[in-house]
Structure 1
Amino acid sequence: MKLSVIILNYNVRYFLELCLRSVEAAITNLDAEIIVVDNMSPDDSCDMVKQLFPNVKLIENKSNDGFSAGNNLGIKEAQGEYLCILNPDTVVAEDTFEILLKFADNTPDLGILGCKLIDGKGEFLPESKRNIPTPLVSIKKLFGYSKPYYAHHLSPDQTGKVPMLVGAFMIIKKRIYNEVGGLDEDYFMYGEDIDLSYKILKAGYQNYYNSETAVIHFKGESTLKDKAYAKRFNGAMQLFFEKHFKPNWIFNTLIWMGIKVVSIFYPKGEESFHEVIEYVFVSNKSNPQLQATLNKKLDTQAAVTNYLPNFEYILDTDFLGFKKAIEMVSKNHIKQPSTFKFLLKTSQVVLGSNSSKSRGEVIHIKNN
């Protein structure tokens, strides 16, 4: 088998459904499998997977032991030559895996392979490619200067070597994953992707960022960006330094001070607000129930060429396909001119996220 896609889910049932639909479309021409590990979600994620995706291998974890432990459960069952660790709040294009696996097969020194990640408004996510978070770089980021933290030697549209990749989307050979010890379960959440990237480099492999394909990462669905997030993230960074850099007491004091400052002044995560003056349904079919739910004029259009401020575009992936839908979002170049949602016909919802720092939105379509 060529590829195993591992998706760790916790309590994001509708985003998981959208993700699975995109992954199923993306592995049509591949010898591949999908493994979902559910970390004891209180919603009906597991029932949804069983009902709508019978070919997906589902592992129902009876406890929530964190990102690394959950993914490792799935990876133990994986049969693929390559692993793709994928967040449930992502959308991949139909050719994403084919593009990246072709690159991987032709890159002998490859460790981890990542790609361009964009948020639900089409903005590039800089964590797609990062530098090694040395103590000095990390202290700067902790106190608000984050530029050295990201790998700016490559533009978002260039392909090349980068030190660090993000756990929301990474491809790696299972053999190499096992060789370096995989995701370290000492990390509950955050830091484990940096730790794995660094172990790959120390083992003599190279990590690569590939810009030829874009993946939407709603991001806010995985973790609300609030003070608790900041404390967990910085605590994970401290663990990383202890494992790899052996920091001295001066560094430990600065990190402790930074965590205290962040815990006091980090802005509270809030639901994003975006005034919508009109909705545009991008489809080849009308949807009266959707129109009634949104209670606004809903135009049915087969193509959109110019985005308008405060318009929200409802994307029908059955009509557009996932690659075209991602392209529409990614070409949203003007500063916050519009927002996007995806239609899930089976579950009769539209969903998306207008900010990577807050929860996304799920709108249930009313039945007339």
Structure 2
Amino acid sequence: MVRPSVSVIVVSWNCAALLAQCLASLRVQTGLGELELLVVDNASQDDSTDVARRCWPGARVIANVHNLGFATASNQGLAAASGQLLLLLNPDTVLPQPDTLSRVVDRMVAFPAIDMAGVRLVFADGTHQVGDGGFAPTLGHALAHAFGLTTLSPRWRGLFLQDGSVATPWGAVGWVCGAFTVMRRSAWQRAGGMDESYFLYGEDVEWGCRLNRLGLTVAYLPDIDIVHLQGGTQRKPGDAPGTRWIDGLSQLYWRYNQGRGFGLYRAGMAAGFGLRALVAWPRSRQRAATMVRYASGFWHQQAPSAREPLP
């Protein structure tokens, strides 16, 4: 089998220790030939750029003077890459087996209909990480997620994939998580890169939905795992955990649906998470408080009327 050339793009921001761990796992990947590595650093204040050069002497390091956000930095790397396959890899990921990446590449070779693919993300303890793939932000999908219907029955399809809902070797989905996204150069040339109006959260969902609208196939590979130390490059002191995604999702909903039903979306999402807070209260007040935070976040969303709808 002749394997395509692979370019790996890693966007870093104040994550030197995580980046070293990620690149160490990438270094021991087998069956691929030489990898092209590009590290795009978003004005880190630690030694992330030095770590990249030390861990991978042949890496191309693009050091931004300011933090341009994940989407813009990813696009810088994609534009500079030369591989036939382009892999976006978060610095807070670990490839757990030496053949992890070669299995992904082999899957892309075996199924030429796949234009973009993602894998099963797991936490350090091996449990599945919800949010590694999913479906378009329609009103039905959003409300099914908010009310927790997708956990009750597999016939409910929400924003996120449920573990075990996609059969091996792959299944078509609306989007895959940007922590690990592999894409054919031909698909990138046709669809373009990430939407740079998203600074953080939502750009990967928009990207996958855009590919689908162009008739390209986004695939989820359920039998290939990588470890994702979620949020390891995003949190800053004083951040409320897990709430900034609400702004990204609301922007996505508005643009994908061209503003239709935004009031119902806002009220429904708030009601769904409010109901989940009531259900969670007897078992876990901490989880109930999180659900209340989500409900409040959605209730206070304003219609982003200045934003353009998707083409």
Give the TM-score, by structure 1 length.
0.65
Distance 1:259-1:154 versus aligned 2 partners, 3 A rule? closer
What percent of counterpart residues are identical?
Answer: 25
Out of 290, 301, 305, the position equivalent to 1:266 is 290
Please give the alpha-carbon distance, in whole angstroms, between the structure 2 residues aligned to 1:37 and 1:55: 14
Q: Is the 8 A contact 1:161 1:206 kept in 2?
A: no
Please give the alpha-carbon distance, in whole angstroms, between the structure 2 residues aligned to 1:212 and 1:224: 29
> Which aligned pairs between 1:198-237 and structure 2 lie closer than 5 A?
198-224=209-235, 228=240, 230-237=242-249
Amino acid at match of 1:158: T
Out of 7, 16, 26, the position equivalent to 2:19 is 16
Please give the alpha-carbon distance, in whole angstroms, between the structure 1 residues aligned to 2:273 and 2:117: 35
Distance 1:50-1:255 versus aligned 2 partners, 3 A rule? farther
Determine if the alignment matches structure 1 residue 112 to structure 2 residue 116: yes
Determine if the alignment matches structure 1 residue 33 to structure 2 residue 57: no
Distance 1:90-1:136 versus aligned 2 partners, 3 A rule? same
Amino acid at match of 2:267: L
Determine if the alignment matches structure 1 residue 171 to structure 2 residue 182: yes
Amino acid at match of 1:38: D
- Measure how far apart 1:227 and its partner are: 6.6
Please give the alpha-carbon distance, in whole angstroms, between the structure 2 residues aligned to 1:245 and 1:259: 20
Q: Is the 8 A contact 2:19 2:51 kept in 1?
A: no
Once the two structures are superposed, residues 46-103 of structure 1 have per-residue CA deviations (whole angstroms, 9 ceiling, x without a partner) of 1222233211111111111111001111111100011000100111132122111111
Gaps of 5+ in 1: 270-368
Determine if the alignment matches structure 1 residue 239 to structure 2 residue 251: yes
Q: Is the 8 A contact 2:40 2:62 kept in 1?
A: yes
- State the SS of the aligned residue for 2:207: helix
Q: Is the 8 A contact 1:130 1:162 kept in 2?
A: no
Distance 1:253-1:153 versus aligned 2 partners, 3 A rule? closer
Gaps of 5+ in 2: 152-157, 278-287, 294-311
- State the SS of the aligned residue for 2:105: helix
Please give the alpha-carbon distance, in whole angstroms, between the structure 1 residues aligned to 2:116 and 2:80: 20
The residue aligned with 1:74 is 77
Out of 235, 251, 263, the position equivalent to 1:250 is 263
Please give the alpha-carbon distance, in whole angstroms, between the structure 2 residues aligned to 1:80 and 1:227: 37
Bigger Cα displacement from structure 2, 36-45 vs 126-135: 126-135
Determine if the alignment matches structure 1 residue 131 to structure 2 residue 144: no
The residue aligned with 2:299 is none
The residue aligned with 1:5 is 8
Distance 1:110-1:29 versus aligned 2 partners, 3 A rule? closer
The residue aligned with 2:107 is 103
Determine if the alignment matches structure 1 residue 186 to structure 2 residue 197: yes
Once the two structures are superposed, residues 11-34 of structure 1 have per-residue CA deviations (whole angstroms, 9 ceiling, x without a partner) of 111110010111122166324201
The residue aligned with 1:51 is 54
Bigger Cα displacement from structure 2, 198-207 vs 217-226: 217-226
Q: Is the 8 A contact 1:223 1:229 kept in 2?
A: no
Q: Is the 8 A contact 1:13 1:45 kept in 2?
A: yes
- State the SS of the aligned residue for 2:198: coil
> What root-mean-square deviation, in Å, do the aligned CA atoms of Structure 1 and Structure 2 show?
3.0
Amino acid at match of 1:241: Y
Please give the alpha-carbon distance, in whole angstroms, between the structure 2 residues aligned to 1:28 and 1:21: 16
Please give the alpha-carbon distance, in whole angstroms, between the structure 2 residues aligned to 1:11 and 1:227: 16
Amino acid at match of 1:223: Q
Q: Is the 8 A contact 1:227 1:268 kept in 2?
A: no
- Paired residues in the alignment total 268
Give the TM-score, by structure 2 length.
0.76
Q: Is the 8 A contact 1:131 1:162 kept in 2?
A: no
- Bigger Cα Rg: 1
The residue aligned with 1:275 is none
